[in-house]
Amino acid sequence: MEDVVVIGAGLSGLTAAGQLHQRGYRVRVVDKSRGLGGRVATRRLATTSLDHGCRYLQPFADPALSPIPALLASGILQPWQPETFALEANGSIRATATATLYAAPQGMSAVAKALAAGLTIHRHWRATALTPMPQGWHIEGEGLGSDSQSEISALEARAVVVAIPAPQAAALVAATAQPHDAISDLVQQLQTVAFDPVITVMAGYSPQTSPWLSQQTAPGGWMVTGDAHPTLGWIALDSSKRPAAKAAEPKESVVVLHSSAEFAAQAIDRPDLESVGQDLLAIAAKPLAPWLSSPEWMQVHRWRYGFVRQPLGVSVLSSPAWPTFVGCGDWCPGGQVEGAIASGHQAAKLIAQALV
């Protein structure tokens, strides 16, 4: 039996696991994906990488919780200074002040890898049900890979941290073998949380294409936010975050585009994702730059649980009936990566108190 099983290797789960590991607990992290980091996600391509989830980090409101200074010192993060614009609802563009942004030249998933150092992580294993036992928790799951760990059908632990998006946590908690009032209470709380979906387009352009926007005043990186736009949420020259694979060679330009929540809600289940991606690039090309609609290659990803629209409003999900259960993630306090990390810290604190 482990001391703690952490379900979910996103930044909240890795933070909780790291804190508990540092306090001397035996911790095992499980994640259904092959990679680490959840929505802090990097796709590896033949000659480059791109961030199709979290784009950058910004200075934390609470510097005590911020991993940014350590990540800068180790070279994992570097300042990213694109020229920034806002795309208005009517398609007009205006330059905006540049915020302080930090990106990872190797891809943002390097942030997750740094937080995961020293932890025992069981990947490609999806937790399917969670049942309280007199001395802890029984966690059923299924292996999704072909390694020997994938054959494990259940884990047991004195405490459990559920660090997965609230709708998935609700399904996991509801699938218990022992219905209990506290379970219904947790599920009810989880059901108050709402997420917005996002459709992400990744597109590559030949080194011969000039990757500038019509509005740009200086060559280099650019980023456009579309907070008021009905279709486009955000678009940027992702390749400006990283150096060329071979310094002497001209660099392929890579653009990453995130749709608005409104657009994604309508298109998330469309089977023709390729044409959804082409539509989004064509919509971006009109106000920004004609070359955007003619990529050499394109990939599309759907995030069913992209951004938190309605958080739980507290730092973690907990139940007085079960001090050894804690739910954490950005969906608890809101606030994206900073919220996820703050929630992971609080989860570790509560579990450590419950295990003394």
Ligand X SMILES: Cc1cc2nc3c(=O)[nH]c(=O)nc-3n(C[C@H](O)[C@H](O)[C@H](O)COP(=O)(O)OP(=O)(O)OC[C@H]3O[C@@H](n4cnc5c(N)ncnc54)[C@H](O)[C@@H]3O)c2cc1C
Indicate whether 68 belongs to the interface with ligand X (CB under 6 A): no
40 binds ligand X (CB under 6 A): yes
Q: Are strands 42-44 and 27-31 parallel, antiparallel or unpaired?
A: unpaired
For 282-313, give the DSSP string. HHHHHHH-GGGG--SEEEEEEEEEEEEEE--S
Per-residue binding string, ligand X, 131-150, x by CB under 6 A, is --------------------
Specify burial of residue 33 (Cβ count, 10 A radius: 0-12, 13-18, 19+): middle
Contact yes or no for 219/239 (Cβ under 8 A)? no
Comparing C-alpha atoms, which of 230, 255, 261 is closest to residue 241?
Answer: 255
Interface with ligand X (CB under 6 A), residue from 4, 27, 161, 172: 172
Tell me if 6 sits within 8 A of 29, measured CB to CB: yes
Q: Residue 206 CB, nearest distance to ligand X (Å)?
A: 25
> Of residues 12, 42, 253, 324, which one binds ligand X by CB under 6 A?
12
- Cβ atoms 41, 52 nearer than 8 A: yes
| Residue 303 near ligand X by CB under 6 A | yes
CB of 329 to ligand X, least distance (A): 3
Note whether 31 binds ligand X by CB under 6 A.
yes
In the complex, minimum distance from the CB of residue 307 to ligand X, in angstroms, rounded to a whole number: 6
Q: Which stretch binds ligand X (CB under 6 A): 208-216, 220-228, 279-287, 336-344?
A: 336-344
Listed ranges 55-63, 69-77, 153-161, 274-282: which one lies at the site for ligand X (CB under 6 A): 55-63
The smaller minimum CB distance to ligand X, of residues 11 and 283, is found at: 11
Q: If binding is defined by CB under 6 A, does position 71 make contact with ligand X?
A: no
For 80, the 3-state DSSP assignment is: strand
Report if residue 9 touches ligand X, rule: CB under 6 A.
yes
In the bound state with ligand X, the residue whose beta carbon lies nearer, of 171 and 244, is 171
Q: Which residues contact 39 (CB under 8 A, 6 or more apart)?
A: 10, 53, 54, 303, 306
Tell the burial category of 34 from Cβ atoms under 10 Å away from its Cβ (0-12, 13-18, 19+).
Answer: exposed
**DSSP codes of every residue in 22-45:** HTT--EEEEESSSSSBTTS-EEE-
* Binding segment (CB under 6 A) for ligand X, from list 61-69, 80-88, 216-224, 328-336: 328-336
Contact with ligand X (CB under 6 A) among 200, 216, 239, 260: 200
Rounded Cα–Cα distance for residues 4 and 9 (Å): 14
- Contacting ligand X within 104-133 (CB under 6 A): 126-127
E strand or H helix at 194, and its extent? Answer: strand 194-205
**Residue of 2, 3, 42, 56 interacting with ligand X (CB under 6 A):** 56
Asked if 306 interacts with ligand X (CB under 6 A), we say yes
Residues in contact with 73: Cβ distance below 8 Å, sequence separation at least 6, in sequence order: none
Query: Looking at 28, 32, 123, 241, which residue binds ligand X (CB under 6 A)?
Result: 32
Task: Tell me which of 164, 223, 317, 351 binds ligand X, using CB under 6 A.
Answer: 164
Q: Judged by CB, which is closer to ligand X: 5, or 283? A: 5
DSSP 226-256: -TT-SSEEEEEEGGGGS--SSTTSPPPEEEE
Regarding 165 and contact with ligand X (CB under 6 A), the answer is yes
DSSP assigned state of 70: H
> Site residues (CB under 6 A) for ligand X?
7-13, 30-33, 38-40, 53-57, 126-127, 163-165, 168, 172, 198, 200, 258, 303, 306-307, 329-330, 336-337, 340
